[in-house]
Chain A
Amino acid sequence: MDTNLVAMFSDPAYWESLARIIPKALNETIYMVIFSTFLAYVLGIPMGVFLVITSAGHILPNPWVERTLGTVINIFRSIPFIILMVALIPFTTMIVGTSIGTTAAIVPLVVSAAPFVARLVESSLREVSPGVIEAALSMGASPWQIIYKVLLPEAKSSLILGVAITTINIIAYTAMAGAVGGGGLGDVAIQYGYNRYRTDMMIITVLILVVIVQVIQWLGTTLAQKFSHR
């Protein structure tokens, strides 16, 4: 092995610097990912539900609502994240009080992920068979009962897979958010790994991200299987 590397790894100061940087960055990433995913679903589920139920032949057909909502979602999905982040600075400042930092990064993450979630939720809910909805209607179910007793529970497994996809996407986006002062593992990779040629930092952060992504996907697949009764 390279003697320089041996010297570096045997230096306690090296490990101290890692312990100072990595756990903090990991915490920031987890914080951003959890809150962004959660809030994206808070906004995305109702949008996805509306897209489905207002479509032709569904329980509350309304072409006007469906088209308007669909267009707004498409517009937000077409704006590149990096531009959205900058464009949203005034809005972020209004909500969080600042446009820099981990919490501030959550705002553009949510705005960018929510329309994506809406489409994922839409496609999951469309998998619910029209026959089951008709059966519920024949029993006198209200639209609200059909949403929370039929559509969402019947699509549970597919929705869980969607959560895994969204979470992993948001992890990738937090790296970009990090670039503009959001912090997190992506920030470390850029600040140390890229700007200061610390290849070791780059490898460590990327490895951690790989592990997180693997775990989330495994969790999503396992839970989806557990809730699938097909």
Chain B
Amino acid sequence: MIQIKNLSKVFKTPNGSFTALKDINLHIPKGSVYGIIGLSGAGKSTLIRCINMLERPTKGEVILNGQNMTLLTGKELRQARQNIGMIFQHFNLLESRTVADNIAFPLEIAQWPKKKIAARVQELLPLVGLEQKADAYPAQLSGGQKQRVGIARALATNPAVLLCDEATSALDPQTTVSILELLKEINEKFNLTIVIITHEMKVIKEICTDVAVIDQAQIVEKGSLESVFLSPKSNIAKEFVASVFPNKLPPQLLRELAQHPGSQIVNVNFLGSAASEPIISGLIRECGITVNILYGSIDRLRSTLFGVLTLELQGSPENLAEAHRYLAQKNLAVEVIHNGY
């Protein structure tokens, strides 16, 4: 669907040049919800703007539906943009237009006939749950309602891709969830490819199928949602996972535990059906060790279950080895964070 090849972006400033993006390679498959996460200043906003050429890449290519976006200019580019929806952190609605007229706006730009525009607007209003607000002005709406208008507007021309630029960052947590649910519903219903940039791992966790982590202008890690959560490789990815599953033990506790002879502290991440298996009683019964639960959490990753457990394992070296074999057999990702041996 979208292929980003060797993309770089350098901004020229009076104080020299600034590299916002460096050699980015991404493949965004059709129907995926692709999350790009990074801290502010990492370059993610520039990256999403390079997809529809709001920013021109300095080097590299963006291929969308077989069309090389980087080669387009003028009318061709404008036509290609009509096939890409975009929503924004601050919604960017036209204040002088009602909800219905805001949704009609991209259709006017695409020069649809008036009757078709009216019919399409009537289709979109219920999709985002704003039938009652058709004649309201943006100033009369809540943040969540404004973003719903933004979504309806972005979908009006039946685009192939929806770009979301920090679409929930200005919303409260509850509204964020409802907007993410709506995006997920749209993704499933229309098989619409969605690209999301965010600094919040909980956004990624709720709806993404794939995730790329961007840090200091470069992609440092990418993969399926599950693989990145199960075994994050880069430090920044680990921090992002820990931001939604905060399994860092207080240092005071770690110091105390370190005094226990012959104990190991492990993080166990588990996914899907493994989440419903009684692994702790298995460890105790089959490996003959004692298990002390230090931290545990279970949540949903898009639609599969994902859990993290921090355990203290105590037993003989042989029994501990047996325990590791047992966990590996269950396909659980284990990370030893302290070893008393």
Contact = CB atoms under 8 A, between A and B. Distances in A.
Decide if A and B are genuine partners.
yes
Interface of A: 129, 131-132, 134-142, 145, 149-150, 153-154, 156, 227, 229-230
Contact-residue bracket for chain B: 20 to 34
B145 interface: no
A230 B94 contact: no
Main secondary structure of the interface of A (DSSP, over half): helix
Contacts of B157: 139
Contact of B92 (A129, A149, A153): A129
A141 B78 contact: yes
B2 to A, nearest CB: 15
A140 B80 contact: yes
Contacts of A149: 105, 108-109
A154 B138 CA distance: 12
B86 A135 contact: yes
B156 to A, nearest CB: 9
Contact of B139 (A129, A135, A141, A229): A229
Interface string B189-223: 00000000000000000000000000000000000
Interface of B: 52, 54, 75, 77-82, 84, 86, 88, 90, 92-97, 105-106, 108-110, 137-139, 157, 163
Contact of B78 (A129, A131, A132, A142): A142
A139 B106 contact: yes
B137 A229 contact: yes
A224 to B, nearest CB: 12
A138 B95 contact: no
B59 to A, nearest CB: 22
B43 to A, nearest CB: 18
B323 to A, nearest CB: 54
A117 B110 CA distance: 32
B160 to A, nearest CB: 13
B72 to A, nearest CB: 11
A132 B137 CA distance: 15
Contact of B94 (A145, A153, A227): A153
B93 A132 contact: yes
B96 A229 contact: yes
A76 B254 CA distance: 77
A138 B94 contact: no
Contacts of B106: 139-140
A150 B95 CA distance: 10
B86 A138 contact: yes
A149 B110 CA distance: 13
Contacts of A154: 94-96
30 contacts: A131-B90, A132-B92, A132-B93, A132-B95, A134-B54, A134-B92, A135-B86, A136-B105, A137-B81, A138-B54, A138-B86, A139-B82, A139-B105, A139-B157, A140-B106, A140-B110, A141-B78, A142-B75, A142-B78, A149-B105, A150-B94, A153-B94, A153-B96, A156-B96, A229-B95, A229-B96, A229-B137, A229-B138, A229-B139, A230-B139
Contacts of B97: 153
Nearest to A132: B92
A138 to B, nearest CB: 4
Contacts of B109: 136, 139-141, 145, 149
B95 A230 contact: yes
Nearest to B86: A138
Nearest to A130: B92
A157 to B, nearest CB: 8
Contacts of B75: 142
**For A132, A136, A140, A141, which residue has the most chain B Cβ atoms within 10 angstroms?**
A140
A23 B223 CA distance: 82
Contacts of A142: 75, 78
A129 B94 CA distance: 9
Closest 6 CB pairs of A and B: A140-B81, A135-B92, A140-B78, A229-B137, A131-B92, A140-B82
A132 B80 CA distance: 19
Nearest to B140: A229
Contacts of B84: 138
Nearest to B108: A149
B54 A132 contact: no
A137 to B, nearest CB: 6
A180 B92 CA distance: 51
A147 to B, nearest CB: 13
Nearest to B74: A142
Given A139-B106, A140-B77, A229-B138, 8 more contacts: A131-B90, A132-B92, A139-B86, A140-B82, A140-B110, A149-B109, A229-B95, A229-B137
A58 B86 CA distance: 19
A132 B94 contact: yes
Contacts of A229: 95-96, 137-139
Contacts of B93: 132, 135
**For B81, B96, B105, B109, which residue has the most chain A Cβ atoms within 10 angstroms?**
B96
B88 A131 contact: yes
